[in-house]
Structure 1
Amino acid sequence: MTVSSTTSSGNTTLDTIVANSKKATTGSTDALGNAISSAAGGQTLGKDAFLQLLVTQLKNQDPLNPQDNSAFVAQLAQFSSLEGIQTLNTSVNNIAGSFTSSQALQASSMVGRSVIVPTTQAVVDTSKTFSGTAVVPSSVSDATVKITDSSGKVVRTLTLGSEPAGNAAFTWDGKDDSGTLLASGTYTFNAAATISGTSTALTTNLPATVSSVTLGQNGGEMMLNLAGLGSIALSKVQTIGL
């Protein structure tokens, strides 16, 4: 009689054991049934219950037709695999717990820090010079950055001109096209250039301040909550500053 284990959780189910025990004698079947009831209580079997059933099986085998050695070795291998899977599950759970603790420590150090992220919006203090970059995929001759206020009005157009492939840096003094200093607030930066004869939008990397952090759930990624801008995944951060 062979006891088999399922692959979904690494444990042996009662239905499988009963199905595989039909070849046993009446006496051994009764003993095995009693062992199943006491060891499992109708639940999925663990390694201790598996071993108890294996011992009960050996005690009640037919002496005139004993279990084949290869079948016995196979059942021992199943027991060893089951124990290994349970040990692995424990180790993975411990690693997951350590990862969560590491995330919490990392999160506490991120609050209040300045980061550079791919976005078109930024909270700007117009009393200071604002800096950002535009990602240029190939050499261009007419890169520009249009700055729009919260009402959707274009207040300034920065001409970058010719730029090689890479990150094209730009600065803004907080003034509009007429030279008037604007109020601090949220502004949108739209960079564009002509590539292969077509006007193409460029990705902009702008500074932002981390106001809080949301820890990833069930192994998910940590999210940074940016002041006035919303959330972004930690993996998208280009640079972490002071």
Structure 2
Amino acid sequence: MEINSSFGNFTGGAEGSGSPGQSDFVTFLQMLTTQMQNQDPLNPMEASDFAVQLATFAGVEQQTYTNQLLATMIGQTGLSDLGGWVGMEARLYGGAHFSGDPIELTPDPALGADEVVLIVRNDNDEIVDTRSLDPETQSYVWDGQDTDGNPLPDGTYRFEVESRLDGEELDTQPVAAYVPILEARYEDGMTMLVLPGGLFVESGQVTGLRPPSEPDAADTM
């Protein structure tokens, strides 16, 4: 079976065992404290630099924990169990197929950002839409329109969120979308999920699962 590569190639799971420990966070804070104590008092670091370090650590910590937890869950789940996923909505990174229905996104802006921009790319990696989001936004419904408000054609789109502080970029991260699961298959030693638009993804890439729901049009812009 040839897997449609337009959906991306994000792997679930993480190397090693165990969840991120509190010691990692303590070590990070010790390093940050040492950095502050030894900085040049005549040329101290900008507050935005510290914000970038904190945001980066928090994002990596959370993603590592999520990947390890899901890897454990998937490892204990057989194809018969995945059959119960059919008809559910999976939270996935890498993009989603648009065919007229709004797509619910779960942006996760960087900690401390005062400006957040949603970036939408098409199959050719061209930016087709950008729009401002509230820095506190955790759920957003994309209506399938470009920057000028014109409807975009059916196709697969990828989403990113750029976080800024005082006009400076903190980071740019992929945004997950909720995608319907149409079928579960076992192919070449892998458990694959079939998604709208002829897309396939390994079950280990799922970062969330929920019953289907209708997006609230009031959340779109």
Q: TM-score, normalised by structure 1?
A: 0.47
Q: TM-score, normalised by structure 2?
A: 0.50
Change in CA separation of 1:215 and 1:158 when aligned onto 2, cut-off 3 Å = same
Instruction: Tell me the percent identity.
Output: 18
**Which structure shows the higher helix fraction?**
1
Matched, 1:142 2:115: yes
Paired residue for 1:224? 193
**Within 5 Å, which residues of 2 pair with 1:62-77?**
none
**Within 5 Å, which residues of 2 pair with 1:146-157?**
146-157=119-130
Query: Secondary structure in 2 aligned to 1:143?
Result: strand
Paired residue for 1:172? 142
**Aligned AA for 2:82?**
A
Q: Which runs of 5+ in 1 are unaligned?
A: 1-99
Once the two structures are TM-superposed, the CA of residue 171 in structure 1 deviates from its matched residue by 2.1
Query: Secondary structure in 1 aligned to 2:78?
Result: helix
Paired residue for 2:135? 162
Based on CA coordinates, which of the two structures has the bigger radius of gyration? 1
The correspondence for 1:107, drawn from 75, 82, 98, is 82
Contact 2:87–2:211 (Cα < 8 Å) also in 1: no
Contact 1:121–1:229 (Cα < 8 Å) also in 2: no
Matched, 1:121 2:91: no
- Displacement over 6 Å in runs of 4+: none
The correspondence for 1:133, drawn from 99, 103, 106, is 106
**Aligned AA for 1:113?**
M
RMSD, matched Cα: 3.4
Paired residue for 1:51? none
Find the aligned partners of 1:235 and 1:179 in 2 and give their Cα distance.
Answer: 32
Q: Which runs of 5+ in 2 are unaligned?
A: 1-74, 213-221
CA deviations on 1:201-232 (whole Å, 9 max, x unpaired) are 22412012223324599xx9855344444323
Paired residue for 1:237? 207
Find the aligned partners of 1:173 and 1:236 in 2 and give their Cα distance.
Answer: 23
Contact 1:224–1:234 (Cα < 8 Å) also in 2: no
Change in CA separation of 1:103 and 1:154 when aligned onto 2, cut-off 3 Å = same
Once the two structures are TM-superposed, the CA of residue 121 in structure 1 deviates from its matched residue by 0.7
Paired residue for 2:42? none
Higher relative contact order (Cα pairs below 8 Å, separated by 6+ residues): 2
Contact 1:107–1:215 (Cα < 8 Å) also in 2: no
**Aligned AA for 2:132?**
T
Contact 1:214–1:223 (Cα < 8 Å) also in 2: yes
Once the two structures are TM-superposed, the CA of residue 156 in structure 1 deviates from its matched residue by 0.9
Query: Secondary structure in 1 aligned to 2:152?
Result: coil
Matched, 1:199 2:173: no
Once the two structures are TM-superposed, the CA of residue 149 in structure 1 deviates from its matched residue by 1.6
Find the aligned partners of 1:176 and 1:140 in 2 and give their Cα distance.
Answer: 24
**Aligned AA for 2:179?**
A
Contact 1:221–1:234 (Cα < 8 Å) also in 2: no
Contact 2:123–2:157 (Cα < 8 Å) also in 1: yes
Aligned residues: 137
Paired residue for 2:28? none
